[in-house]
Amino acid sequence: MLEQPYEYTARELVEPDWHRLPGFAGVTDEEWRSAQWQRAHCVKNVRQLRGVYGDLLDEAFYADVEADQAGRATMSLLLPPQMLNTMVPDARPSTAAMLADPVRRYMLPVASDRLPGDDASHPYAARDSLHEHEMWAVEGLTHRYPTKVLAELLSTCPQYCGHCTRMDLVGNSTPAVPKLKFELKPVDRQGAMLQYLRDTPGVRDVVVSGGDVANLPFKNLEAFVAGLLEIDSIRDIRLASKALMGLPQHWLQPEVVEGMGRLAATARSRGVSLAVHTHVNAAQSVTPLVAEAARALLGVGVRDVRNQGVLLDGVNATAGQLLDLCFALLDGASITPYYFYMCDMIPSAEHWRVSLATAQTLQHDLMGYLPGFATPRIVCDVPYVGKRWVHQVAEYDRERGISYWTKNYRTGIERTDEAALDRRYTYYDPIHTLSPEGRAWWAAHRSPQLVPAG
Ligand code: SF4
């Protein structure tokens, strides 16, 4: 018998032993399970990182992190112990193992990860690469698709991901990226969002995001979602929280579980689907605590917990890595794999991005292993278009890595634009993945004023 390209084996989830890390050697189970303890012991700088790993890691590694933070980093450091503990999960980490680790590669970027010089950023990379701010109906409410909106309730998260697509707004400023700030007070912003949704009955689906809703005091989140549930036209509500994986302790707090139970009961009585969407990129991040948090939400009546990962080179861009992740989510934690997004064209992200051709191959290679409802679609979020399945491309110049896309609806800023549906919209492969001819073409056409700072 010949082997399958992917051999499925059911795997038990494992909580890595945090006592192997010098800074967590004396931490009790009770402390580890406490959301407050986790938040108070997040790593926000190299000094604190050294406090966790001590001399397990070389000075050169700490200097590499520091150089990235001072240089190209678009996100500041913020790592809960839970998340750090999933890096090099089955050994005392060495520098080499940390450098190679998939979770480290996107959550704890180092300068030597990035491509050198101009190659670090695509010439068309941009802050707010999806132009969400241009489509704000009211501050923080992106109305891009006809029937759904994205409500950005806050601009912080319990963990910061190096590749964050909302790097323009989310998190603390870095030397490379001074962040935008919301102008309205949260209560006024949320009030304006609810009013817009009351006035716009064509919207039936609200993604409640940020940032990460786990950073809202639960009573504020509950008040906003309760407000949504009073609007008859809203039929789908999705709460976005990477913390379900990065800080599952938050979602396991009794007051949060009870509050989610109240919201789920109201949603059910009104025929509204209330789901939680999380963001897991590597199988090793799915631990028993993550599973416990997901099942606690399902247990109090949340309709589904789904995963939207991001396709990242060096993290999950092989079919085996993606399938391992999907099975860990589905078998181990009852989380439904849903989407993998191609990494957006933000500055200094070229070392993470993969070409459309790679994404298409991965989609092909994922098919047939998972149940259809849990087979994730790999999507490209095309600027001014929105999510397109990677095989929907209208035309693809493989040599120059330029793909052309069409769309079948007008975004919020095109309601009077007659040509919007006839236009073709572009997305770009990372130049370093192109053939020598393609790279030479870009060398001749790279426009310096289009190269973003950072
Ligand atoms: S959790 Fe989401 S919003 Fe927060 S930094 Fe990560 S990708 Fe960005």
Query: What is 66-125 written as a DSSP string?
Result: HHHHHTT-SS---B-HHHHTTSSTTSPPPHHHHHH-HHHHHHS--GGGSPPGGGGS-TT-
Among 75, 83, 161, which residue has the most ligand 1 atoms within 8 Å of its CB, making it the best to mutate?
161
Atom of ligand 1 nearest to the CA of 75: 5
Among 164, 245, 277, 307, which residue has the most ligand 1 atoms within 8 Å of its CB, making it the best to mutate?
164
Q: Residue 75 and residue 90: Cα distance in Å, rounded?
A: 27
Query: What is 372-441 written as a DSSP string?
Result: GGG-PEEEEEETTTEEEEGGG-SEEETTTTEEEE--SS--TT-TT-TTTTT--EEEE--GGGS-HHHHHH
Residue 215 alpha carbon to ligand 1 centre in Å: 11
Angle at CA 408, nearest 5°, toward 403 and 409?
120
SS3 content of the chain, % helix, strand, coil (to 5): 40, 15, 45
Residue 278 alpha carbon to ligand 1 centre in Å: 10
Alpha carbon of residue 56 to chain centroid: 29
Give residue ranges with CB within 6 A of ligand 1: 157, 160-161, 164, 166, 170, 210-212, 242, 279
Residue 398 alpha carbon to ligand 1 centre in Å: 31
Residues 6+ apart with CB under 8 A from 425: 382, 383, 384, 385, 404, 405, 406, 407
pTM summary value: 0.95
Q: Ligand 1 atom 5: the closest Cα is on which residue?
A: 160
Residue 72 alpha carbon to ligand 1 centre in Å: 18
Residue 210 alpha carbon to ligand 1 centre in Å: 8
Atom of ligand 1 nearest to the CA of 156: 4
Longest dimension (CA), the chain: 65
Q: From the DSSP assignment, how many helices (H) and strands (E) are in the chain? A: 17, 13
Give the SS3 label for residue 273. Answer: strand
Predicted confidence (pLDDT) per residue in 68-112, tens digit? 999 999 999 999 999 999 999 999 999 999 999 999 999 999 999
Q: Work out the percent of the chain whose per-residue pLDDT is above 90.
A: 91
Average pLDDT over residues 347-367: 98
CA distances in angstroms from 232 to 143, 190, 196, 199, listed in the order given? 18, 18, 13, 11
Residue 193 alpha carbon to ligand 1 centre in Å: 21
Q: Ligand 1 atom 3: the closest Cα is on which residue?
A: 211
Q: Residue 88 and residue 389: Cα distance in Å, rounded?
A: 33
Half-sphere exposure of 302 (CA within 13 A, CB side): 26
Burial class (CB in 10 A: 0-12, 13-18, 19+), 77: buried
Phi, psi of 122 (to 5 degrees): -70, 145
Contact 75, 162 (CB under 8 A): yes
Atom of ligand 1 nearest to the CA of 242: 1
Give the SS3 label for residue 11. Answer: coil
Predicted confidence (pLDDT) per residue in 233-247, tens digit? 999 999 999 999 999
Predicted confidence (pLDDT) per residue in 148-194, tens digit? 999 999 999 999 999 999 999 999 999 999 999 999 999 999 999 99
Residue 382: the pLDDT is 95
Predicted confidence (pLDDT) per residue in 362-412, tens digit? 999 999 999 999 999 999 999 989 999 999 999 999 999 999 999 999 877
Q: Ligand 1 atom 7: the closest Cα is on which residue?
A: 164
Residue 450: the pLDDT is 47
Predicted confidence (pLDDT) per residue in 120-129, tens digit? 999 999 888 8
Confidence of residue 433 (pLDDT cuts 50, 70, 90): very high
Residue 108's nearest CA partner among 93, 121, 123 is: 93
Residue 134: the pLDDT is 85
Q: Ligand 1 atom 6: the closest Cα is on which residue?
A: 161
Among 129, 142, 160, which residue has the most ligand 1 atoms within 8 Å of its CB, making it the best to mutate?
160
Write out the H or E segment, with its range, that includes residue 191. Answer: helix 186-199
Residue 158's nearest CA partner among 67, 250, 287 is: 250
Phi, psi of 204 (to 5 degrees): -115, -5
Residue 245 alpha carbon to ligand 1 centre in Å: 12
Q: Ligand 1 atom 8: the closest Cα is on which residue?
A: 164
Residue 157 alpha carbon to ligand 1 centre in Å: 6
Q: Residue 207 and residue 221: Cα distance in Å, rounded?
A: 13
Residue 223 alpha carbon to ligand 1 centre in Å: 23
Atom of ligand 1 nearest to the CA of 241: 1
The whole-chain average pLDDT of the chain stands at: 95
Contact 358, 378 (CB under 8 A): no
Say if residue 41's pLDDT is above 90: yes
Among 242, 250, 277, which residue has the most ligand 1 atoms within 8 Å of its CB, making it the best to mutate?
242
